[in-house]
């Protein structure tokens, strides 16, 4: 049986969940991700060019610390669930506006005379 392959495009802060994906290889083509797996006390940070194999079944979470491209190959690649994929364009725009709204300089209040 041929390995399955999937490329995920993750925005900063976006999560991908891999369930029961033992043997799946996670390779970062661009960006940086934080990775944790069920039952493992150690977390892993992968930079561009790094690869890591899921060692056990259960949930594995991949969180983008920067805009990232992540390649998955192996048994869990096809079933990876990317949180936020179900958002509509309107929801994404609202989230973006809320995030960038914090970058505007604060208004100073001037008393009336």
**Residue 105 is assigned to a structural domain of this protein:** no
**Residue 82 is assigned to a structural domain of this protein:** yes
Separation between Cα atoms, residue 82 and residue 63, nearest integer Å? 10
The CATH number of the domain where 70 resides is what?
Answer: 2.60.120.10
By residue range, what is the domain housing residue 72? 5-99
pTM over 0.95: no
Q: What is the pLDDT of residue 1?
A: 44
**Residue 109 is assigned to a structural domain of this protein:** no
Q: Please count the structural domains in the chain.
A: 1
**Residue 44 is assigned to a structural domain of this protein:** yes
Written as six digits, the tokens of 21 are 């994906």
**pLDDT tens-place string over residues 87-108:** 566 776 776 677 666 555 555 5
**pLDDT tens-place string over residues 37-74:** 998 889 999 999 999 999 999 999 999 999 999 999 99
**Residue 70 is assigned to a structural domain of this protein:** yes
């Amino acid at each position: 049986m041929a390995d399955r392959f999937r490329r995920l495009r993750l925005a900063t802060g976006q999560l991908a969940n891999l369930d029961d994906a033992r043997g799946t290889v996670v390779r970062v083509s661009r960006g940086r991700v934080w990775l944790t797996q069920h039952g493992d006390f150690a977390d892993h940070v992968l930079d561009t060019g790094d690869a890591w194999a899921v060692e056990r079944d259960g949930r594995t979470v991949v969180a983008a610390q920067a805009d990232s491209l992540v390649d998955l190959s192996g048994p869990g690649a096809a079933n990876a669930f990317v949180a936020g994929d179900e958002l509509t364009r309107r929801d994404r725009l609202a989230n973006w506006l809320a995030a960038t709204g914090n970058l505007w300089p604060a208004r100073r209040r001037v008393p009336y005379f």
